Amino acid sequence: MVESIVSDKKTIFSGMQPSGQISLGNYLGALKSWVNLQDEYNCIFCSVNLHSLTVRQNPELLRQNTKQLIALYIAAGLDPNKNLMFLQSDVYQHTQLSWILNCYTYFGELNRMTQFKEKSAKYEENINAGLFTYPVLMASDILLYKTNLVPVGEDQKQHLELARDIAIRFNKIYGETFIVPEPYIGKVGARIMGLLDPTKKMSKSDNNGNTIFLTDEPNIILNKVKRAVTDSDNQIRFDTINKPGISNLLSIYSSITQKTILESEEELKNKGYGDLKKIVAEVIIEEILPIQEKFKELCKNEDYINEILKQNAIKAQEIADKNLNEVYKKIGIK
Ligand code: ATP
Ligand code: LTN
């Protein structure tokens, strides 16, 4: 790993919250594309457990989900010898930089964030300050490693734009310090919608048939897809405004088979909705079954995961510390 980090490859940073089991949306919108990037870039994939605290978590489950997230990264094909994989909480420089960048971020900017508005509505009993400053910690994650590219789903684009604005603002005051990161958003799969409410994104914190989890058994997946909301005109075509449910099934199909939406529409247009659902469930199951098998194996070996986390955190701390010190010097803390 270290040799690639000091090479001249561009750096990629991304992360997921261990706020539940990984969903099909996380996989198709983010994780699947990460696997294809690992040879070409210096990749850093973090489990952003501090971000998860913005929503109330059960401590025992959080601990379990945090380890399982790393096991799923590996099971999905991320090679722990090629990529830096670690827990956000193990590299304290993330929160140090976050405080500093808070002082370079405006209230109005944070107040405009769609995710803040959505989560404030969803968790109205707990609109905490962390939920508000969430994007600043995310900007710190990214800027701390002089990241060039950030592969995320469509929903994170606004946060990334804010990270860019913060970097540009800081550089303007103190001279070139941060690299201004670019988003890397895949085409299909960028936004997978909920099965029961296809007008909202599939979220790993939903637990009611709206979300397919990577660890769901095949019969559960089949049942969830069968119950997916569609419409009554019996036409298979992509139209997110008038046919959000069918469009979502087509997105899932295209994303897994790597066919274009047009090719998928052409292939499936003469099927009934029942058949479409069966076909979609089958491709999902076929895609994730090998991941599940590897995941089960990895979960039996917690020491292996712990060792990867320990080694990688040391390497991440080294890079983070160097870059944080540069910031300290620029602003007069050192
Ligand atoms: P939560 O439900 O706890 O807010 P989440 O499911 O939105 O979590 P995150 O951990 O915040 O997941 O996101 C991890 C990655 O998955 C991000 O890159 C995000 O853009 C992507 N992602 C999340 N949901 C979807 C989705 N429905 N479609 C495509 N990509 C998604
Ligand atoms: N907010 C992100 C998770 C996240 C992240 C990051 C993604 C936290 N820090 C840095 C990319 C880069 C989300 O996906 N919901």
Q: 51, 13 in Cβ contact below 8 A?
A: no
Answer whether residue 310 is part of any domain: yes
Same domain, 260 and 325: no
**CA–CA dist 209, 227 (Å, integer):** 8
Q: 261, 243 in Cβ contact below 8 A?
A: no
Same domain, 16 and 160: yes
Same domain, 90 and 158: yes
Query: Contacts for 40-43 with beta carbons within 8 Å, 24 or more apart?
Result: 40/9, 41/9, 41/10, 41/11, 41/12, 41/148, 41/149, 42/4, 42/5, 42/7, 42/9, 42/10, 42/11, 42/12, 42/84, 43/11, 43/12, 43/13, 43/78, 43/82, 43/83, 43/84
Answer whether residue 4 is part of any domain: no
Same domain, 154 and 246: no
What does 103-135 look like in DSSP terms, one character per residue? Answer: TTS-HHHHHT-HHHHHHHHHTTT---HHHHHHH
Residue 255: CATH number of its domain: 1.10.240.10
**CA–CA dist 190, 146 (Å, integer):** 24
The pLDDT, as a whole number, for residue 3 is: 41
Same domain, 18 and 64: yes
Answer whether residue 196 is part of any domain: no
The pLDDT, as a whole number, for residue 205 is: 79
What single-letter amino acid sits at 44?
I
Pocket of ligand 1 (CB under 6 A): 16-17, 19-20, 23, 25-26, 29-30, 152-153, 155-156, 190-192, 201-205
Answer whether residue 209 is part of any domain: no
Answer whether residue 198 is part of any domain: no
Please name which of 89, 5, 108 lies closest in space to residue 49, comparing C-alpha atoms.
89
**CA–CA dist 113, 119 (Å, integer):** 10
Same domain, 91 and 17: yes
- Expressed in angstroms and rounded, the spacing between residue 162 Cα and the centre of ligand 2 is 12
Answer whether residue 3 is part of any domain: no
- Expressed in angstroms and rounded, the spacing between residue 192 Cα and the centre of ligand 1 is 9
Same domain, 160 and 309: yes
Question: What are the residue ranges of helices labelled H in 186-301?
Answer: 218-226, 244-257, 261-268, 273-299
The pLDDT, as a whole number, for residue 185 is: 79
- Each residue's pLDDT, cut to its tens digit, for the chain (334 residues) gives 444 445 689 999 999 999 988 999 999 988 998 999 999 999 999 999 999 999 999 999 999 999 999 999 999 999 999 999 999 999 999 999 999 999 999 999 999 999 999 999 999 999 999 999 999 999 999 999 999 999 988 889 999 999 999 999 999 999 999 999 999 977 656 789 999 999 999 988 787 899 999 999 999 999 999 999 999 999 999 999 999 999 999 999 999 999 999 999 999 999 999 999 999 999 999 999 999 999 999 999 999 999 999 999 999 999 999 999 999 999 999 9
Domains: count for the chain: 2
Same domain, 287 and 145: no
Same domain, 33 and 180: yes
Q: 65, 252 in Cβ contact below 8 A?
A: no
What single-letter amino acid sits at 225?
V
Answer whether residue 137 is part of any domain: yes
The closest residue, in CA terms, to atom 20 on ligand 1 is: 153
Structure tokens, 314: 């040391």
What single-letter amino acid sits at 38?
Q
The SS3 assignment for 101 reads: helix
- Expressed in angstroms and rounded, the spacing between residue 212 Cα and the centre of ligand 1 is 13
The pLDDT, as a whole number, for residue 4 is: 41
- Expressed in angstroms and rounded, the spacing between residue 25 Cα and the centre of ligand 1 is 6
Structural domain boundaries enclosing 116 = 11-184+302-331
Q: 192, 248 in Cβ contact below 8 A?
A: yes
Answer whether residue 272 is part of any domain: yes
The pLDDT, as a whole number, for residue 1 is: 42
Residue 179: CATH number of its domain: 3.40.50.620
Same domain, 306 and 281: no
Q: 28, 256 in Cβ contact below 8 A?
A: yes
Cα angle at 91 between 298 and 73, to 5 degrees? 25
The SS3 assignment for 167 reads: helix
CA distances from 135 to 102, 140, 141, 213, 237 (A): 10, 9, 10, 25, 36
Same domain, 325 and 249: no
Reported pTM:
0.91
Same domain, 284 and 251: yes
Pocket of ligand 2 (CB under 6 A): 13-15, 17, 48, 51, 138, 141-142, 150, 152, 156, 159
Catalytic residues: 119, 201, 204
